[in-house]
Amino acid sequence: MEKQAVTIYTVAREARVSMATVSRVVNGNPNVKPETRQKVLDVIKKLNYRPNAVARGLASKKTTTVGVIIPSVTNPYFAELALGIDDIATMYKYNIILTNSDFNDDKILKVARGLLAKQVDGIIFMGHDMSAELQQEFAASNTPVVVAGSIVNDDKLATVRINYQSAAKEATNYLLDHNDDRVAFVVSSLDYSINSKYRLAGYKEALAEHGIPFESKYVIETNGDYNRAYQQADHLIEQGIKAAYVSDDDLAAGLLNGLTDNGVKVPDDFEIVTSNDTTYAKITRPTLTSITQPLYDIGAISMRLLTKMMDGEVSDTDDVILDHGIIERQSTRRG
Amino acid sequence: MEKQAVTIYTVAREARVSMATVSRVVNGNPNVKPETRQKVLDVIKKLNYRPNAVARGLASKKTTTVGVIIPSVTNPYFAELALGIDDIATMYKYNIILTNSDFNDDKILKVARGLLAKQVDGIIFMGHDMSAELQQEFAASNTPVVVAGSIVNDDKLATVRINYQSAAKEATNYLLDHNDDRVAFVVSSLDYSINSKYRLAGYKEALAEHGIPFESKYVIETNGDYNRAYQQADHLIEQGIKAAYVSDDDLAAGLLNGLTDNGVKVPDDFEIVTSNDTTYAKITRPTLTSITQPLYDIGAISMRLLTKMMDGEVSDTDDVILDHGIIERQSTRRG
DNA sequence: ATGAAAGCGCTAACAC
DNA sequence: GTGTTAGCGCTTTCAT
């Protein structure tokens, strides 16, 4: 079991210096005479010495590791956010402990505690709302946390995102402008404040601007992913719905395919605008008109913000709101 | 900076026992009198004590963390493998350090070294081949490694996968049986032995069985992902190709959409069989006929095998070969 | 059943 | 510029 046969001490002896000097060399501390440094470097190479990050973490109280809580790696929205997170983390030499939360509060709490036990230097949280226990856990830990790509029920946490309310409003308006007066609001769940509070408000604003009364039967909760949305397609048809603003590309793809497979022509007989402009929006046929948002950047900026917080460079936790837009594709009619 | 104000020592003093006893309680060691255990438990709860995993890792030389090297989280093939890995890891109480490798050898080497420095107990490697340095790094570390969902140029490593050669052969035969005598072999890169050695061999076998000579112009390397395959569609058309066996769903989706957008009817004028049966194969229209393989299980079994290796329960590293099949969808003609 | 004490491999004062 | 010396918070013999 001599997994770590060669330690800083071995190197020190072999190079005839103290372990402190070896430590300085390894950490790039300038207070080392060039010759000494070279001598140590030679021994390190010769012995193939590798610093033990665990020991270092214990001594320095920094693990250069951040925890990332993600609902699902198979959802392209979160996967694309993760890409930006990962790149910046790599750039700043942080490792990432990635934990799937499945949108399950119990699991989230468990993984969060695990992350804290591992002494991560910071946490990126992806997900739509937090249990009271989780909020408390984060607050008590005084470990920096940033919420990426969502807005949650805890305004003490920094978030990096777009303005979901105005995005939803614009998407709905776009549909309403096409003389679709029966526009549905399709979301995974109204339990998330991002949907029930912000997107829904945007949807209602657009309705109001067009003088169309809000009808709750046009609010659809899929309570699931692609397949659930697929199955609900005929339900929407029965309701006489002619268009939909959808909160997630996964759902939009499901709805689209469900409609198509039921003989409904998109966009001629039904229009769809989705929210995240992920690969799903480009792979489907017809392609999906979508809110555009800089997914990669949201991830990247979240991570960058976190590095600043971990370095104590930033105290205020103002939200970072990025610009969004809308891109017209084939799931909506022109003009 | 009293991040860890309460340590095992704090608990010990408060409970009027030694830290050894607290350690026993925390670790479920039976050699503790019930009353003592309860007393300690009470103090732990009262102080909200949480064991420091870093200190524990240093003392025990086990981090209960495994490293996962993944080419890309946004590729559904790897994302679906990751799902199985994650579930079993959670079940066995391991955390996962997830590192994106982008199929880049330098980056892979760096992340692998980072993982080893962090003293991970084991590594799951996803990717198609390994540099000599990486192989050496793994060999020298005596950290258990299992390769998930591929076959690589290092037969000392345990792998969990399907038989790629016979899968490719069956897919090609399926196409050839439809009287498509101009069947292309489309892969990302022949630099990977999974493609150049195994899948290509299967493709050639099928050709031989049908008495069709192998022509290298029917071998297409995309050197890229969805978009690259999309762009190559017209090139395939020009070559007079009528069908294709594709090594990755990402590429198959790109090819399909490229063909469709160029006015080529799939499956009437062109047939496609893809390899991984991921969500992509179900989301496209037409849907994609595909080799089927238990992606989730491959991930899960890889992780389970790794736990056994980490526990020293297993020494031999025989490959685990799972069954594959083929599912007919809309990208091929019936009969 | 419990405690004392010696590390695990490293960082970080502090001294010279 | 370099060495000495305490820890970091925990596990793990070894006694008792």
**Which two tokens mark A196?**
């029930």
Å: B61 CA to D9 C1' = 14
Residue B221: enclosing H or E segment and its boundaries? strand B219-221
CB A281 within 8 A of CB A80: no
Strands (E), A138-202: 145-148, 158-162, 183-187
Q: Is A24's CB less than 7 Å from nucleic acid strand D?
A: yes
Report the chain B residue with the minimal C-alpha distance to residue A312. Answer: B1
Q: What is the DSSP string of B65-100?
A: EEEEEES-TTSHHHHHHHHHHHHHHHHTT-EEEEEE
> How far lies B158's CA from each of A309, B134, B145, B259, B306, in Å?
41, 15, 7, 39, 9
Integer Cα distance of A167 and A323 in angstroms:
10
> How high is the pLDDT of residue A335?
63
DSSP state of B194: I
Contacts of B216 (CB under 8 A, 6+ apart): none
Give A275-332 pLDDT, tens digit per residue: 999 999 999 999 999 999 999 999 999 999 999 999 988 876 789 999 999 999 999 9
Taking one residue from A and the other from B, the number of pairs with CB-CB distance under 8 angstroms is: 124
Report the percentage of chain A scoring pLDDT > 90.
93
For nucleotide C8, give the residue with the nearest CA to its C1': B59
Minimum CA–CA partner of A94 in chain B: B114
pLDDT (0 to 100) of residue B180: 84
Q: Is the pLDDT confidence value at A1 over 80?
A: no
Nearest nucleotide (C1') to alpha carbon of B40? C2
User: Rounded to a whole number, what is the distance in Å from the CA of A76 to chain B's nearest CA?
Assistant: 7
For chain D, which bases have at least one atom within 7 A of a protein Cβ?
1-5, 7-13
Q: Closest CB to A285: pick one of B73, B86, B257.
A: B257
pLDDT of A2 > 50? The answer is: no
CA of A26 to C1' of D3 (A): 17
pLDDT at residue A314, as a whole number: 84
CA B88 to chain CA centroid, Å, is 13
Instruction: Write the pLDDT tens digit of every residue in A139-167.
Output: 999 899 999 999 999 989 999 999 999 99
Output phi, psi for B205, to 5 deg.
-60, -45
Enumerate the H helices of A161-225 as residue ranges.
Answer: 164-177, 193, 200-209
Q: Is the CB of residue A25 inside 7 Å of nucleic acid strand D?
A: no
Q: Could you tell me where the DSSP H helices lie in chain B? A: 8-15, 19-26, 34-47, 53-60, 76-91, 105-117, 132-141, 164-176, 193, 200-209, 226-238, 249-261, 279-283, 295-310
From first to last of the 335 residues of chain B, give the pLDDT tens digit.
344 589 999 999 999 999 999 999 999 999 999 999 999 999 999 999 999 999 999 999 999 999 999 999 999 999 999 999 999 999 999 999 999 999 999 999 999 999 999 999 999 999 999 999 999 999 999 899 999 999 999 989 999 999 999 999 999 999 999 978 899 999 999 999 999 999 999 999 999 999 999 999 999 999 999 999 999 999 999 999 999 999 999 999 999 999 999 999 999 999 999 999 999 999 999 999 999 999 999 999 999 999 999 998 887 678 999 999 999 999 999 86
Q: How many angstroms separate the CA of residue A240 from the nearest CA in chain B?
A: 25
pTM score, two decimals? 0.94
